[in-house]
Amino acid sequence: MTESTEPTSSTVDGDVLVDVQGLEVHFPIKGGLVLDRTIGHVLAVDGVSLRVTRGETYGLVGESGCGKSTLGRAMLRLVEPTGGRVVFDGTDLSALRGESLRRMRRRMQMVFQDPLSSLDPRQSVESILVEGMRAHGLDRDRAATATRLRELLSSVGLPASALRKYPHEFSGGQRQRIGIARALTVRPDLIIADEPVSALDVSVQAQVINLMADLQQEFGLTYLVIAHDLAVVRHISDRVGVMYLGGLVEEAGSEALYADPLHPYTRALLSAVPVPDPAVEDRRERILLAGDLPSPAAPPPGCRFHTRCPWRQPERCDTERPELREVLPGQRVACHYAEDIRAGRIQPHEVRPELVEAGATGPLDTSAAGPASVTEILGGP
């Protein structure tokens, strides 16, 4: 279990809508002749603590397989957490069952990554939108329901004639608009958007992002946006959390994080984002991470990032898992040496990728193998 700290008062201001406390999602690995014996666990989410304030957009980023989508689903209990708590508007969701959980879910909706597979191809748009309203008893007046559906479609930029059509008759961007409209039908407070624009063309991405921002103002929504595109997250988010191998490694306001990232992993992610100005591109820091993402079924001991970190200090990084702590006002980071790295007191060095034996809990000795890749640091601005 991760040692996590609660966000301090200076980290989160305002009315907290969602309070995630040490959330864990561990999937069992089955083995044996009849696959009925648990031989291990995949630590998809391993002790994440964060808060989302009412009316803000919280961006969650990280590479594929880091646990972003699982965290979002666990917050809504679409996936049952193994440990920890999610407190939504003062109510502990883990204590809810049956009808009480169903009623609470009206206030929490999700927009899924693939707009085609998340819409039933056998249902018309009208049937898709009414389904959620009917489940929560919001369609008792047919005339009022018809009016609301037309208003919602207008809000997401679709004509009323779309109600009679089926998902395959729309483009990808239009289908995503239908997915957003479906989430809005039950008047939620929170929308978790899982990669809402990753399947769309760049020009359509901008339209959907701007639409989400407009809807947030119109309906007073709170967003948690899961994405791997850092440019999208920067544009839409008030605060950003960075995940690596099931844990939150950094959290800060959007502008602060992009201007002064503190965790080595965040610096590596941002160094990979293209910059349109060639003069800036030539001078900025570039970090090429060595090795592959470790398996969440056998994460490294100590700091999860130490196997790929250019600033690794073995005496502590290899054995002690860092807590998520506030280093600058409003900026939390899980790194033992964040201040030293930022001040230049620790210099980057070459990283030797470590070979991990299947099922092992630690790296094998590769001292005789030589480096397979080099972490290159170019002079910063």
List the chain domain ranges.
16-107+188-378, 119-187
What's the mean pLDDT when you consider all of the chain? 85
Taking the C-alpha atoms of residue 321 and residue 282, their distance in angstroms, rounded to an integer, is 35
pLDDT by residue (tens digit) across 314-343? 999 999 999 999 999 999 999 999 999 999
Q: Residue for token digits 């996590």?
A: 4
Which architecture characterizes domain 16-107+188-378 according to CATH? Answer: 3-Layer(aba) Sandwich (3.40)
What's the CA gap between 328 and 321, in Å, rounded? 20
Residues 87-126: tens digit of each pLDDT: 999 999 999 998 899 899 999 999 988 878 889 999 999 9
pTM of the predicted model as reported, rounded to 2 decimal places: 0.85
Nearest residue to 373 via CA among 354, 348, 360: 354
Q: Are 208 and 157 in contact (CB under 8 A)?
A: no
Backbone phi and psi for residue 372, each to the nearest 5 degrees, phi listed first:
-95, -15
Long-range contacts of residues 360-363, Cβ cutoff 8 Å, at least 24 apart:
360/298, 361/298, 361/301, 362/300, 362/301, 363/300, 363/307
Beta bridge partners of 159: none
With beta carbons less than 8 A apart as the criterion, state whether 119 and 128 touch: yes
Instruction: For residues 33-52, give the mean pLDDT.
Output: 89
Tokens of 261: 């990232």
The confidence band for 283, taking pLDDT boundaries of 50, 70 and 90, is low
What number of CA atoms fall less than 13 Å from residue 113's CA on the CB side? 12
